Amino acid sequence: MNVLLIGDITGAPGRNILKEQLKNIQKQESIGFTIANAENAAGGSGVTENIANELFSYGIDVLTSGDHIWKKKETAEYIAREYRLLRPANYPDIAPGFGCYVFKARTGESIGVINLIGRVFMQAVDCPFRIAKECVEKLRKETSTIFVDIHAEATSEKVAMGWFLDGMVSCVFGTHTHIQTADERLLHKHTAYITDIGMTGPMDSVIGRKKEQILERFLTQMPVKFEMAEADVRIHGAVVEVDLKTGHALSIKRLLT
């Protein structure tokens, strides 16, 4: 099966290009399951119930998230009942929602997805490595095909997670930085890995925001309102081919539209 991974969906520009192009990409790449990071889908920060349902209607099977998941006040109530929108598993257990889950592809196959958040240069949360292992042990009772979104700032932490989970999961992919890396590969024990799958949104920007406003902030260090950019919108991500019998990744390639 080919699994499509979509980088951080950023605001209306990111959503609109998926509405226009996702079905064709899924057809061209023979996609059987689609995972997308949606923590920036609502105006560049957070996600709402209406926006999540909009993204599901385009053909996305699972939405992952990260440090902006709680930016919209209504999200907590929604995520408590919508298992297709994951929050990082290493948030406290008392937090609403699910951090890992086994989903059914439309053709019936079971696919596990784990959402984690890093700790380097980010807020203090539980150990992503320990929680990752606990999630893997839980999900492997139902499936050997497992994908892991590590939403983290530091490349070192993401690479370390890849090696830590090599042979235990099908794929470890990074999100959060909005910059696609060129290090996609199969690790020694058949786990696909890429440090960051990039951003689905406006490339004529600074990670999705109007570049003029970001430059003003850097140059003056004064408070500046950051607005969504709109030009040169693209989809970034990756396509992973996985053997559903073993859970081994067979290939990984970057996606850039």
pLDDT at 124: 87
Q: How far is CA 152 from the centre of its chain?
A: 11
pLDDT in tens, the chain (257 residues): 999 999 999 999 999 999 999 999 999 999 999 999 999 999 999 999 999 999 999 999 999 999 999 999 899 999 999 999 999 999 999 999 999 999 999 999 999 999 999 999 998 899 999 999 999 999 999 999 999 999 999 999 999 999 999 999 999 999 999 999 999 999 999 999 999 999 999 999 999 999 999 999 999 999 999 999 999 999 999 999 999 999 999 999 999 99
Residue 34 lies in a domain: yes
Residue 244 lies in a domain: yes
SS3 78: helix
Residue 106 lies in a domain: yes
Residue 142 lies in a domain: yes
68, 151, 178, 236: which one is catalytic? 68
Beta bridge partners, 117, equal 151
Pairing mode of beta strands 185-186, 192-194: antiparallel
pLDDT at 73: 87
| Total domains, the chain | 1
pLDDT digits (tens, 9 = 90+) for 191-219: 999 999 999 999 999 999 999 999 999 99
pLDDT digits (tens, 9 = 90+) for 32-65: 999 999 999 999 999 999 999 999 999 999 999 9
Residue-number span of the structural domain to which 35 is assigned: 2-203+233-256
Report d(CA 99, CA 115) in Å as an integer. Answer: 5
Report d(CA 110, CA 114) in Å as an integer. Answer: 13
How far does the chain reach from its first CA to its final CA, in angstroms?
A: 21
Residue 219 lies in a domain: no
Report d(CA 189, CA 196) in Å as an integer. Answer: 20
Determine whether 188 is an active site residue.
no
Report d(CA 217, CA 214) in Å as an integer. Answer: 5
pTM for this prediction: 0.97
For residue 8, give the CATH number of its domain.
3.60.21.10
Residue 211 lies in a domain: no
Residue 69 lies in a domain: yes
Residue 210 lies in a domain: no
